[in-house]
A = this chain, B = another copy of it.
């Protein structure tokens, strides 16, 4: 392997998480450890879109100590800003890539780290595939993040553990809140996850860990039916009067229609995904109509992905380690890969970093497997609990100032 000397670029892309800055901190640590080959690390503001606009910022002087990196790690959302720009197909718009590479050359960029989800791995895949056909040597490594945990070829994704810890902690508090009254009531909590129910599945953790948990859990992986839901609620009411129900925003009927579809705008995002919201409100009306009892619904919404004050230590530690390992691997010659997590054992929990070809990851979605969903389709199995439980473990000592967590602003 040849030693490749030159600068590095790092960017963040896609939706925010509580751990995406921990991965950035890891990349910074990795570059500091390889200063002999990488003299400077530039952050792209707003991902590749900002780079194309010349909007980059040198990072090493700003984060030249563990104290600063720890503050970066406890900062939610993408400190460099994000974008949702998808690169064109290299076969259809080669001019785009010719221009891009000219810009890399001008800054002597030889390393490119992109922290993001599915769509970001598409960028890593296209860029590394194009580079392979040129004589410009540059190494491109993806670092995963998504609260949805639906990336292929990794045991789980950074950002998920912290979001799951937020969901589990908040539901455990909501269960206490709902238990104070004796009148029959149903509280429906809508959780993010369009195609995969991982985050909603983590609603099983309060019950599994404390013995006091939510009553019913519905994921998009199983078809939803009002009749079955009514039966489930009726059964649950036999046990106690205060039901807490966790549903994924993406639950859908057997015919594929989203339960929330009626309440939606039909607007599409830049990638042609439907904006979703409203399954909880639909179920709220259904419960009111069917049971006539007190009922309310709400979405955990943005806090579930940005509640860095409640991050999982396991998650932040792994997120940082993936960032650091991506740099090491690139200096050793890897390109066109994503840093991924392999689970070594559940108890005690141990994971290891591995590298996967990014081209197979970019357009796949990893759903909750059948073995993790109970037969009735309204709860999580012990196997699912065993998978989820270690990912929310541990708490960071968050630095507060005047009552609020301190955030790093780049």
Contact = CB atoms under 8 A, between A and B. Distances in A.
B407 A402 contact: no
Nearest to A46: B182
A81 B395 contact: no
A170 B307 contact: yes
Interface string A61-77: 00000000000000111
Given A209-B403, A301-B298, A179 B393 contact: no
A394 interface: yes
A360 interface: no
A126 interface: no
Contact of A306 (B174, B205, B395, B398): B174
Nearest to A168: B404
Interface string A363-406: 00000000000000000000000000100111100101111111
B209 A404 contact: yes
A82 interface: yes
A181 B298 contact: no
B82 A172 contact: no
A324 interface: no
25 contacts: A46-B181, A49-B182, A76-B176, A77-B179, A81-B179, A81-B181, A83-B181, A168-B403, A168-B404, A170-B303, A173-B302, A173-B307, A173-B309, A176-B306, A176-B407, A177-B302, A205-B403, A210-B401, A210-B406, A210-B407, A212-B409, A298-B299, A298-B302, A303-B303, A392-B404
